[in-house]
Amino acid sequence: MNVIETPLKGLLLITPRAFGDARGFFLETYQAERYAEAGIEVAFVQDNHSRSSRGVLRGLHYQVAKPQGKLVMVTRGAVFDVAVDIRKDSQTFGRWHGVELSDANHMQLFVPPGFAHGFCVLSETADFHYKCTEYYAPETERTIIWNDPDIGINWPIATPSLSTKDSTAPRLRDVPPEDLF
């Protein structure tokens, strides 16, 4: 597997080794020892799967009381995946990194706790899978508005389909300090 460090400390882009031929392919999407050697020494406690249509944007989400680390990947279709550093003492606070994840490139993104996360769907449909280091705790979930001009994410979509929660979220500068890391 190939692991690339992004400009945001702790945010890792991973490409598992795929074995394929004319019949299809095989790849390990997670193997604890190998991922620990790459610096991802966490215990995953929950796996999630979401399906979304073209133009859907989900995020930017995070949990405050039980922050989640996530290992994310796409098994059908393609998404533009984004992580925003919301660690108050980080030199890259408020900066974002985005990458296209797809069923064709098999790439994964490890998003450590302390980041807000979101994605938008580029294909007709996308199946998005992610492993989490903490259980989902809706009472501690927070959202930052997807198009915050202070963050300046260059989304590849102008008018996404959003949930009410995502369309009415605050800007990063309006998030209470106790809701950041």
For residue 128, the model assigns a pLDDT of 98
In a domain, 32, yes or no: no
- φ and ψ at 51, to 5 degrees? -125, 135
Query: What is the domain extent for residue 72?
Result: 2-16+41-176
**Model pTM score:** 0.96
Report residue 109 as tokens: 């993104």
Domain count, the chain: 1
pLDDT in tens, 111-122: 999 999 999 999
Over pLDDT 90: what percentage of the chain? Answer: 99
Amino acid letter at 82?
V
- pLDDT of res. 138: 95
Question: pLDDT digits over 73-99, tens only?
Answer: 999 999 999 999 999 999 999 999 999
Confidence (pLDDT) at 60: 98
> Does residue 36 lie in a domain region?
no
Classify residue 33: in a domain, yes or no. no
CATH number of the structural domain spanning residue 91:
2.60.120.10
Closest by CA position to 74, among listed 112, 29, 33: 29
Active site residues: 61, 130
Task: Report the pLDDT value the prediction gives residue 82, as an integer from 0 to 100.
Answer: 98
**Within 13 Å and on the Cβ side, how many CA atoms surround 143?**
18
Residue 2 is predicted with a pLDDT of 95
Q: Does residue 27 fall inside a structural domain? A: no
% of the chain at pLDDT higher than 70: 100
Asked if residue 28 is part of any domain, the answer here is: no
Locate the DSSP E strands across the chain.
Answer: 2-5, 12-15, 18-21, 24-27, 46-53, 57-63, 70-76, 78-85, 96-102, 108-111, 115-121, 125-132, 141-143
- pLDDT number for residue 171: 98
- Predicted confidence band at 160 (pLDDT cuts at 50, 70, 90)? very high
Cα–Cα dist 111/181, whole Å: 14
Q: Does any domain span residue 181?
A: no
- Integer Rg of the chain from CA: 16
Q: Give the whole-angstrom CA distance, residue 117 versus residue 69.
A: 10
**pLDDT tens sequence across 23-74:** 999 999 999 999 999 999 999 999 999 999 999 999 999 999 999 999 999 9
pLDDT (0 to 100) of residue 132: 98
